[in-house]
Chain A
Amino acid sequence: MHPILGHPRRLAVYVALWLPLGGVLAALLALEGALPWPRAIVVAVPLAVLFGFLSLSAWYVARGLPIGSTGLARVLVTAAFAAMISTAIWLLFSRGWMEAIAAPASRNVTLPFREIAPTLFGFGTLLYLLAIAASYVLAAFQTSRDVERRGLELQVLAREAELRALRAQIDPHFLFNSLQSISALTTADPAAARRMCLLLADFLRETLAVGARDRIPLSSELALAQRFLAVEHVRFGDRLNVMVNADGAEACGVPPLMLQPLVENAVTHGVAHVIEGGTIAISARRHGSLLSIAIENPCDPDRPPGRGAGVGLANVRERLRALFGSEASLHAEETDGRYRVQIEVPVEDGSGISDPRPTVIGPRTTP
């Protein structure tokens, strides 16, 4: 699609730009003494506008020879060639035009045309070359805008993928097991059953609320993890203990639910496989411009390689890469029956992140 031909308004502006150029050409002709002023204007302005239309073809020359992939010599030769051909065609029209406007008495225009032809040729060639140069600039501009638009599209896609991942992260096991716990407590301990319902509702509500935001304070993310673990505590009883230590990093902004898959893993692939259970420790610390968060849990070194293990970890890694590129990192290691995941993300201060509900971080969850 031609950037000017296809748009009537741009075309009007373009033509208007050629009127003063016609004036310049008239001045050249008049000052040369080849034509008197009024006649020079009558000859030059329409011819300039005509040449404006011929110059539109420069766009195709530029498009056909992209600078990056064509040798410079070839570009220059082709441009010069195109300029001369266009100008030659224009000269034919010019002669015709001078004939058309000549007084009926002096039909012979050969002499005055010969006089002004070199000027016309120089003027035409130069402007056509300028038009080619302008076309290159325009093409580059268009390309960069396309790249920018594609970048935006990719961002939108990434965001969608991220949200999809979030939705997928609520584990059906967790829901069914929680319902089982509530079912068990209903007769055994009705008050505890109600507390469990409230814990679960809080957790689900909070998950939905933060999922729509770009960043939340670390304190909110940790509070959410603690709600989740409080629900799991009802199920696992004394086998599941929790320690959380944010160490002054509470206000740092983090992507919502970033820790959730890791905390779920700590339960499902960690504590749940150890008969005597153990403590899940979450600790966060700020080192200058980096926020470092570690999740540690006991695990059974002999546990069978379960399905789904590693999916949560891969999701978190993927998300960190999409959000922070190489600035974020994730390391997981297992030593002597303890599993440890450490995340490092660039610090984003919580100043711009509003948190409607104040959250209290305690050293230990006791549901």
Chain B
Amino acid sequence: MTSDDLLRIVIVDDEPLARTVVREYAAAEAGVDIVAECANGFEAVKAVTELKPDLVLLDVQMPKLDGFEVLELIGGDVPVVFITAYDQYALRAFEVHAIDYLLKPFSAERFQQAIARARERRRATLPVDEIVREARPRTGPVERVLIRDGTQVHVLPVDKIDYVEAQDDYVAFKSEGKQYLKDQALGAVEAALDASRFVRIHRSYILNIDRIARVELYAKDSRVAILRDGTKLPVSRAGYARLSELL
């Protein structure tokens, strides 16, 4: 057997018994190597970042970070098989994007199928944003932003965000003098945040309106927002219109 045939998997489930089943099924399968077992999402993000496995078996319901948040953080490049007991929204998202999933309790045959399918499409990339949006129809704006920093996960409550800045392919969340980079489009951030507290003041900036000290005219048709901590941000004409509407 060549190393190409060896499937390195990570098991993520907060329930010890659920991991037991996967371990047992995986042991019976030739060419499958369990490289890590994780009991929560933070461990999962760390393990996936460090070990770059070929497949992640990911439970949906977990404390702190659920399966979809883990997916959001590890990105769509790692093949994932979701495991869930019962979740109609998640199932719909899986069906739509042809993502393999296992319903608890599942048989050894079903597990083998999932492994075989994962071997076939190791290179497939998942549309993470779409999946996350469909799997968890949000009733309102996000309350926290998840940011991966190497093997670490930062959970940033939205009221701690001062402003968000677009930087090339990333967005930078500025909070309490620190900056957190996330691989996301500014438009997606704008859509996720509460529109009554965050306003797009410029093509490259979203501002927490609680942080504004004043807005000054800088030149004809161009203004700057001055934050409480003295930071100056450019305000476009459309941005000023949106801002005035909110204030």
Contacts and interface: CB of A to CB of B under 8 A. Distances in A.
Is B truly associated with A?
yes
B15 A235 contact: yes
Question: Most A CB atoms within 10 A — which of B39, B103, B104, B143?
Answer: B104
Interface string A196-215: 00000000000000000000
A179 B86 CA distance: 12
B86 A172 contact: yes
A302 interface: yes
A274 to B, nearest CB: 6
B34 to A, nearest CB: 16
A304 B66 contact: yes
Interface stretch (A62-70, A183-191, A346-354): A183-191
Interface in B22-40: 24, 39-40
Nearest to B85: A176
B17 A185 contact: yes
A180 B85 contact: yes
Contacts of A173: 61, 85-86
A237 B66 CA distance: 19
Nearest to A272: B63
Size class of the contact patch on chain B: 20 to 34
Contacts of B212: none
Contacts of B89: 307
Interface in A274-320: 274-275, 300, 302-305, 307
B143 A177 contact: no
A53 interface: no
B63 A274 contact: yes
Contact of A302 (B15, B86, B105, B155): B155
A179 B63 contact: no
A182 interface: yes
A184 B21 contact: yes
Interface in B16-60: 16-18, 20-21, 24, 39-40
Interface string B72-106: 00000000000001100100000000000001110
A224 interface: no
A260 interface: no
Given A179-B104, A300-B63, A275 B40 contact: yes
A159 interface: no
Nearest to A188: B20
Contacts of B143: 302, 304-305
Given A274-B63, A305-B139, A183 B157 contact: no
A121 interface: no
The main secondary structure of chain A at its interface with chain B is helix
A307 B66 CA distance: 13
A218 B58 CA distance: 40
Contact of B18 (A172, A184, A300, A303): A184
B144 A176 contact: no
A83 to B, nearest CB: 68
Contact of B64 (A179, A187, A188, A273): A273
Given A176-B103, A272-B61, A237 B18 contact: no
Contacts of B15: 177, 180-181, 235-237
Contacts of B85: 172-173, 176-177, 180
The 5 lowest CB-CB distance pairs between A and B, nearest first, are A183-B105, A180-B104, A176-B85, A184-B17, A180-B105
Interface of B: 14-18, 20-21, 24, 39-40, 61, 63-64, 66, 85-86, 89, 103-105, 139-140, 143-144, 155, 157
Interface of A: 172-173, 176-177, 179-185, 187-188, 234-237, 272-275, 300, 302-305, 307
9 contacts: A180-B105, A181-B17, A183-B21, A184-B17, A188-B20, A275-B63, A300-B64, A302-B157, A304-B143
Given A173-B61, A275-B63, 13 more contacts: A176-B103, A177-B15, A177-B85, A179-B104, A180-B104, A181-B15, A181-B17, A184-B105, A188-B20, A235-B15, A273-B64, A275-B40, A304-B143
